[in-house]
Structure 1
Amino acid sequence: MHFQHSADIWRDFPELVPAAIFARGITADVSLDDRLAHFGEVAAKRLATASEGELPEIQAWRRTFSRMGLKPTQYRCASESLLRRFRKEGALPRLHPLIDLCNAVSIAYAIPVAVFDLARISEYVEVRYAAGDETYVTFGGDTEHPAPGEVIFADAAGKAHARRWTNRQSGLSAIRDTTTDILIVAEALHGSAREDVESLTATLSSELIALWPATPEYVLLRPSTPRFEFTP
């Protein structure tokens, strides 16, 4: 399998800094309360001096959404949505240990982190512009078709595993109790994106090793090396 961004995405967003992690051996029976508390404290400290919309990581995604023709306060990147909820409620909902970990790291870095169950993905994941005939399954089970030109995460079967780039993932490839092999993607476009995404990826990989019998493989991607290949 492989993960990549299309040449069109690299052309249109040259400031993009993505990273991908592959790991196997994930289970739903680990405890990570202390780790979640730590990342929550990091996020709370940042939010004590600025709202999520003032953070450079979020501002960069808002500019990107505007360039895509989306209202950035109507369609928010995943990390902004999580930070808003965390600021209002003081905590995030607990769903699955892996999702909880990725969400906690996402708010600590203010960078969107997507995680996919590879058993639900056909051959590859590519971030690209939609043709308009792809299918997207909501968490409620409804089927949608992304508009032509929308940035999606697509596989070889024409399934859209995320819509509006970092706005919303699909229920089809969501992590569940039976998940074992996973792909994690982090993407940023702000000024210190490379250093921050590298730190996020190293942190998340270390957490995976500490919590599960996993040996993660990860890479920072760039236009000259846009593809991450791995074997589930």
Structure 2
Amino acid sequence: MHFRHSDAIWSEYPELVAGTVTVTGITPDGPAEPLIEKFTAVAEARLAAGTEAEFPEIQAWRRTFSRMGLKPTQYRCASESLLRRFRKERVLPRIHPLVDLCNAISLAFAIPVAVFDTAMISGGLEVRHANGDEDYLAFSGETEHPDAREVIFTDAAGRAHARRWTNRQSGHSSVRDTTASVLIVTEAMHDSASEDVPELVAAIADALGDVWRVSPETAIPTRSSPRVEFTC
């Protein structure tokens, strides 16, 4: 399988910094809570000094959404949505140890982290502009079609696994109790992203090793080398 951003995405968003983690051996009973608390505490400290709207990581994604023609306070990147909910409720709902852990790391870094069940992906994933005929399975069970030119994550079968780039993932490849292998993708646009994304990727890989005793593979795709191959 593979993951990549299209040439058009790299051309239009040269400030993009992305990272991937792939791993096999995930179970629904990983003891992730101590690490979840650790990363959540980092987010709490950051939010004590100001709201998520002031974070450079969030401001950069807001500018990106505006460039995509989206109202950034209507369609938020995933990390902003998590931070906003956490600031108001002081807790995030528990879904699955892996999802909960990645959400906590996303909170700590204020950078979107997407987790895909690779068993539900055909061929690989590409971040590209939509044609408009791709199928997106919402968590409500309804099938949607992204707008033409919308930035999506799509596979060889024409499924959109995320809409509006980092706004909303699909229910089709979401993590469930039967998930064993995953592709984790993180993307950032802010000035220090070239330092922060590798640190975030390393944090995820270390956390997965601690909780599930696995050996993740990591990569930092670039414009000159955009394709990541993996065997999960």
Sort the TM-score into its range (normalised by shorter chain): over 0.9
TM-score, length of structure 1 as denominator length: 0.99
CA contact (8 A) 2:123 2:156 kept: yes
Distance 2:79 2:66 in 1: 17
Aligned to 1:4: 4
Q: Distance in 2 between matches of 1:196 and 1:64?
A: 18
Distance (Å, rounded) in 2 between the aligned partners of 1:20 and 1:227: 11
**Could you tell me which residue of structure 1 aligns to residue 213 of structure 2?**
213
- What RMSD over aligned residues (CA atoms) do the two structures have, in Å? 0.6
Matches within 5 A, 1:133-212: 133-212=133-212
Cα distance, 1:50 vs. partner? Answer: 1.2
For 1:133 and 1:213, the matched residues in 2 are separated by: 41
2:86 and 2:152 mapped to 1: Cα distance?
Answer: 26
Aligned residues: 232
Give CA-to-partner distance per residue, 1:165-204, whole Å, 9 cap, x none. Answer: 0000000000000000100000000000011001000011
List per-residue Cα deviations over 1:56-108 (Å, max 9, x = no partner).
00000000000000000000000000000100010111000000000000000
2: CA distance, partners of 1:32 / 1:3: 26
Residues in 1 aligned to 2:222 and 2:160: alpha-carbon distance in whole angstroms? 23
How many angstroms does 1:213 deviate by?
Answer: 3.2
CA distance, structure 1, for counterparts of residue 213 and residue 55 of structure 2: 35
Amino acid at match of 2:186: A
- 1:85 corresponding residue in structure 2: 85
Secondary structure in 2 matching 1:104: helix
Separation (CA, whole Å) in 1 of partners of 2:14 and 2:165: 15
CA offsets 1:195-224 (integer angstroms, 9 cap, x no match): 100100001100001111321001111101
Task: Please tell me whether residue 57 in structure 1 is matched to residue 61 in structure 2.
Answer: no
Aligned-partner residue type, residue 166 of structure 2:
T
**Residue type of the alignment partner of 2:83:** L
1:138-157 Cα deviation digits (max 9, x unpaired):
01110000010000000000
Counterpart for residue 228 of structure 1 = 228
Partner of 1:121: 121
Structure 1's consecutive aligned runs of 4 or more residues displaced over 2 angstroms after TM superposition are none
Q: Deviations over 1:20-53 (max 9, x none)?
A: 1110000001222211111111001111111101
Cα distance between partner residues in 2 of 1:40 and 1:216: 22
**Preserved CA contact (<8 Å) 2:32 2:98:** no
User: Matched residue of 2:208: which SS?
Assistant: helix
TM superposition score normalised by structure 2: 0.99
Code of the aligned partner of 1:198: P
2:107 aligns to what? 107
> What letter is aligned with 2:154?
A
Specify the code of the residue in structure 2 equivalent to 1:207: A
Contact 2:3 2:124 in 1 (8 A): yes
Counterpart in the other structure of 1:46: 46
SS at match of 1:186: strand
**Stretches of structure 1 lacking an aligned partner (at least 5 in a row):** none
